[in-house]
Amino acid sequence: MASASFVKLNASSSPWIGQRSFNQRSGSSSRLPAQRVSVIRAGSYSEELIKTAKTIASPGRGILAIDESNATCGKRLASIGLDNTEANRQAYRQLLLTTPGLGQYISGSILFEETLYQSTTDGKKMVDCLREQNIVPGIKGLVPLPGSNNESWCQGLDGLASRTAEYYSQGARFAKWRTVVSIPCGPSALAVKEAAWGLARYAAISQDNGLVPIVEPEILLDGDHPIERTLEVAERVWAEVFYYLAENNVMFEGILLKPSMVTPGADHKEKASPETVAKYTLTMLKRRVPPSVPGIMVRILYLDSFLSGGQSEMEATLNLHAMNQSPNPWHVSFSYARALQNSVLKTWQGRPENAEAGQMALLARAKANSLAQLGKYSAEGESEDAKKGMFVKGYTY
């Protein structure tokens, strides 16, 4: 496939990236080169990357994240009385990925490594189940960042090129590496810098090997801070991220973002309305994200904060709906884990006779979020379970 080239101006000339790195203090004698022009090359995968990103960012569709580690998946299974065995994990993931009609509302699914190589009980590869419904398979990774305030960063860059090439050969076409920034902990300058640099290097390496990178510096909901503080931290983090993305010649047309919604801390005394969350989140995105980025897959629960991040299923969907009441420079959709799976688990209960009902519960939530992406959602008729919050303090997955 022919390579494509794109001209990139350095960060100092860009309207959406700050004049200096977040950690470079005002008054520093260090200066960025003046008006340097370089060429961005994503190699032979350029056209495929753009096509993949546009497929995932298609109207009325979003991402289903079932990328929990085996340990975290075990906790979810334990909530319905099931042991954490490979067979039970297979049964649960098979239930989700073989749901008839899922591709109408889901454009991509983030998988844990075990699932990428896993087959159904009938011998069909899980990735093939997704492809049959025009759902793009993806992969994720995360490890703790030493020396920070219990924050995390994307998996080690050593060997990443060979791993992404292997994931591509297994059918993955996008990747999600996630870093975690904690507001009550600072956030630490180390976490912000390493998050931005690590994400930028991961993005560049992923593109070189045919995977669309989902860039995700997650800002945790933990804390009692007001929404203004979340906005301040989010702007700082994303300014740093785009600075290093540009420095690493990442092709913005071939990436997706997965930001946390801008909300007050989970312990803050006042809860923000969906309209307020939408206003602050879109303010942050418009200040920091260039329009060449094709899609923003917002985390809708604490677990998955535009991703969903600890809101209830209904609250998360209302927030997304509010964000799509007027045109945006990019496709704004959802990437949900617990926000889509919570009702499924409670309905399924690990019983084969409940499998179809569990799949119907998944479709109901997926459809609700599809309508929210289109700006047409109504909370009328939502169940009591959908109104319950899912925040877990210090949650890891």
* CB distance 211 to 174 below 8 Å: yes
Q: CA-based diameter of the chain, in Å?
A: 68
User: Would you state the pLDDT for residue 154?
Assistant: 46
**Which residues, listed in sequence order, are joined to residue 109 by a DSSP beta bridge?**
64, 137
pLDDT one-digit tens code per residue, 114-164: 999 999 999 999 999 999 999 999 998 644 444 444 444 444 677 889 999
The two structure tokens encoding residue 13: 């000339």
Q: Which of 77, 393, 355, 91 is nearest to 265 (CA)?
A: 393
Catalytic residues: 216, 258
User: Would you state the pLDDT for residue 300?
Assistant: 58
* CB distance 69 to 84 below 8 Å: no
Phi-psi region of 306 (alpha: psi -120 to 50; beta: other; left: phi over 0): alpha
Distance CA 344, CA 376 (A): 23
The residue ranking higher by pLDDT, 16 or 364, is 364
What is the band of 395 on the pLDDT scale with cuts at 50, 70, 90? very low
Backbone angles phi, psi at 280, to 5 degrees: -70, -40
Element (H, E) at 176: strand 174-181
Q: Which of 153, 167, 168, 243 is nearest to 202 (CA)?
A: 153
H helical segments located in the chain: 46-56, 70-78, 86-97, 113-116, 126-131, 160-169, 189-208, 227-247, 274-288, 313-323, 338-348, 355-373
Question: Amino acid identity, residue 173?
Answer: R
Residue 50: how many CA atoms within 13 Å on its side-chain side?
Answer: 16
The single-letter DSSP state of residue 103 is G
Give Cα 113 to chain centroid, integer Å: 16
Distance CA 300, CA 387 (A): 13
pLDDT one-digit tens code per residue, 78-108: 999 999 999 999 999 999 999 999 999 999 9
User: Would you state the pLDDT for residue 211?
Assistant: 97
Residue 149, exposed/middle/buried by CB under 10 A (0-12, 13-18, 19+)? middle
pLDDT one-digit tens code per residue, 317-361: 888 999 999 999 999 999 887 666 778 899 999 999 999 999 999
User: Would you state the pLDDT for residue 290?
Assistant: 96
What is the band of 282 on the pLDDT scale with cuts at 50, 70, 90? very high
Indicate the pairing of strand 256-257 with strand 295-300: parallel
The single-letter DSSP state of residue 209 is T
**Which residues, listed in sequence order, are joined to residue 62 by a DSSP beta bridge?**
106
The most confident of 73-82, 165-174, 307-316, by mean pLDDT: 165-174
The two structure tokens encoding residue 111: 């998988």
* CB distance 1 to 45 below 8 Å: yes
What's the chain's Rg over C-alpha atoms? 20
Give Cα 256 to chain centroid, integer Å: 8
Q: Is the dihedral of CA 42, 46, 50, 56 positive or negative?
A: negative
Distance CA 48, CA 206 (A): 13
Question: Amino acid identity, residue 190?
Answer: L
